[in-house]
Amino acid sequence: MKAFQIEFTAREHGLLREALQNYGISKRTLASVKYGGGHLLVNGSEVTVRHPLEIGDAVTVIFPKETQGKGLTAENGPLAIVYEDEALLIVEKPPGQNTIPSREQPFGSLANYVAGHFGRHGIPSTLHIATRLDKDTSGLVCIAKNRHVHHLLSVQQQEKRMNRRYEAFVHGEVAAEKLVITAPIGRKGTSIIEREVREDGKFAETEMELIQSDGGISHVRLKLNTGRTHQIRVHMAHIGHPLLGDDLYGGGRELIERQALHCTELQLDHPVSGKRLSYTSALAGDMHGLIQS
């Protein structure tokens, strides 16, 4: 498969470098194109970033082919693909699967399986996971097939144009129908894994909406306005409603063996076409069973 490329038409006079930066190509990405085997074309001819553009010139950026890092082993494994094109891959991750491999669990992660998928289909890219989920959180995950695409997705997240919504089951009957939780999150001093709300933490904001409350359990919908580690889990525990199954933050495992959290919706602007994309994911079986019971 050919290397990833983008095309656009110059709308004003100026140097190619300026047009590329206005198009969202970072200096780091541009350096990788220049020194890593990529190509810059204007009207089909190769040029440098100092090339003067005329209105209507056809610009093509061919990005260098990427290779998988040596620390990631490609594996054949099941992938629940929701959407795929030359720039993006959106999948549903099951509960109990790591998003990326770890020293203790180097195999069987979502990243291992995606690397295998790329290899089987001749996709010349390493994977760039834009929306990572905890091991026991299920639902939608967005993966970029190129460094430039990953950069554009990161900008979308910073500008809050990428929306992620979750559903969760929490202990206690939540009183408010809608609530915005704004509380800074940082690493807990006694743990390398656990986070907590603390004054010197990073700004974090979560929107919560009550779906149903009954029998000492609440079913809630959540929207992330920031992307801190364990954000939903920490914020819900902070307001006295830890997630069911989340024993790290005070939840009990009587009804479910993992934190009852699922990414149900993902909305973003396609990084190349600009088209608004929206995808949904049904609750995993164990969480759906909580509704029935």
pLDDT at 23: 86
Q: What is the DSSP string of 124-137?
A: ----EESS---TT-
Rounded to the nearest 10°, the torsion over CA 48, 36, 123, 98 is -130
Helical pair 27-35 and 147-158, crossing angle rounded to 10 deg: 180
Give Cα 106 to chain centroid, integer Å. Answer: 21
Whole-angstrom distance, CA of residue 229 vs CA of residue 122: 33
Check residue 117 and give its pLDDT: 96
Q: Please report which residue ranges of the chain form alpha helices under DSSP H.
A: 16-22, 27-35, 110-120, 147-158, 231-238, 285-292
Comparing C-alpha atoms, which of 71, 75, 58, 62 is closest to residue 2? 62
Mean per-residue pLDDT pooled into runs of 10, the chain (293 residues):
86 92 86 88 94 94 85 93 96 97 92 95 90 96 94 91 96 96 95 94 97 95 94 98 97 96 97 95 94 80
Taken as a whole, the chain contains a residue count of 293
How much is the pLDDT for 222?
98
pTM for the complete prediction? 0.90
- Tokens 């220049």 correspond to 34
Would residue 82 be called left, alpha or beta, if left means φ above 0 and alpha means ψ between -120 and 50 degrees? alpha
Strands (E) in 215-260, as ranges, are: 217-224
For residue 134, indicate whether it is catalytic.
yes
Query: What pLDDT was estimated at residue 35?
Result: 87
Contact 66, 147 (CB under 8 A): yes
Give me the amino acid identity at 10: A
Beta-ladder partners of 217: 171, 214
> Which conformational region is residue 39 in: left (phi greater than 0), alpha (psi within -120 to 50 degrees), or beta?
beta
> What DSSP designation does 248 have?
G
DSSP class of 261: E
Rounded to a whole number of angstroms, the distance between the first and last alpha carbons of the chain is 49
pLDDT at 1: 66
- Report pLDDT for 292: 80
Assess contact for 281 and 263: CB atoms under 8 A.
yes
Sequence-distant (≥ 6) Cβ neighbours of residue 175 within 8 angstroms: none
| Residue of 134, 214, 246, 286 marked active site | 134
Report the chain's C-alpha Rg in angstroms: 22
38, 63 contact by CB (below 8 A): yes
